[in-house]
Amino acid sequence: MIARRTLDDLKRIMRSGNYRRERPPRMLADAREPVRKGVIFGFILAVLLICTLLYGWRSYLAQNYFVVDVSGSSMERTIQSGDIVYAHRSKAAERGDIVIVDVANYSNYNLGPGSHTIIKRLIAVEGDKIKCERGIVYLAKAGEAYAPLEEPYVYGGMHDDFDEVVLGEGEIFVMGDNRPDSKDSRVSGPFLRSDILGVVTDWSIEYRKAFTEWERVRESVSRFIETYVLLQDSE
């Protein structure tokens, strides 16, 4: 049994300088041990959970989306050259969507070795009619009359008019948001909906700066692993 000290006893011991820090009773020390183990276990569990979520998110992205590393200024200012965005693997694009189009079968597109895709905005679809007069784009949706197209995303304005284009079965008409610096359906004519590889998501455009940084870091880490880890293992 531990002797109980009065307040005067404690003051007298402290004034004399002849005291030492007492260890807490064994019962208190034992009580702290499960707390420490619980904190460590909780931390490990949180790390594992975060890793699992990140892996699951990455797997989901890989199956349903693909990464688009934008090169060129045809979509400024909506998307800048050097931005990275995600495109949903789908051909179900609607007017106003930003799409990735495969132009490998179009001889008037020479994008360089290994490049066969363009990123543009879908303006008109099968059954529509489209034209540009005095710098204003007019769209007649299937069965409707012409009306000026509202395009708040356009940068640079329309400098060249073009005659009426009637879109046939399965055809689409695309243009870049930076109209003066975009080679698109105004030059090549309509594409086919089957040429669409994916639809760029709104959320990846909104947070493209963050996704660009993330993909750059991920690419650097992957390159480091391939160069210094996998290469050494193979030697």
Chain segment 34-50, per-residue pLDDT in tens: 666 677 777 787 877 77
How does pLDDT run across 152-211, given as a tens digit for each residue? 999 988 888 999 999 999 999 999 999 999 999 998 999 999 999 999 999 999 999 998
Instruction: Please say whether the dihedral angle defined by the alpha carbons of residues 44, 46, 48 and 51, taken in this order, is positive or negative.
Output: negative
161 and 203 in a common domain: yes
Phi-psi category of residue 98: left, alpha or beta, with phi > 0 → left and psi -120 to 50 → alpha: beta
In a domain, 195, yes or no: yes
State how far the Cα of 199 lies from the Cα of 130, in Å rounded to an integer: 22
The domain boundary, picked from 64, 81, 112, lies at: 64
Residue appearing with tokens 């700066």: 209
Residue appearing with tokens 């290994």: 114
Residue 42 sits in which domain range?
A: 24-64
- Helical segments of the chain, H only: 7-16, 26-64, 185-188, 202-206, 208-224, 231-234
Q: How many domains does one find in the chain?
A: 2
How does pLDDT run across 120-162, given as a tens digit for each residue? 999 999 999 999 999 999 999 998 999 999 999 999 888 889 9
171 and 203 in a common domain: yes
CB-hemisphere CA count at 13 Å for 22?
10
In a domain, 29, yes or no: yes
160 and 59 in a common domain: no
190 and 127 in a common domain: yes
**What CATH number should be reported for the domain holding residue 180?**
2.10.109.10
pLDDT of 28 > 70? The answer is: no
In a domain, 16, yes or no: no
79 and 28 in a common domain: no
In a domain, 114, yes or no: yes
What pLDDT is recorded for position 51? 66
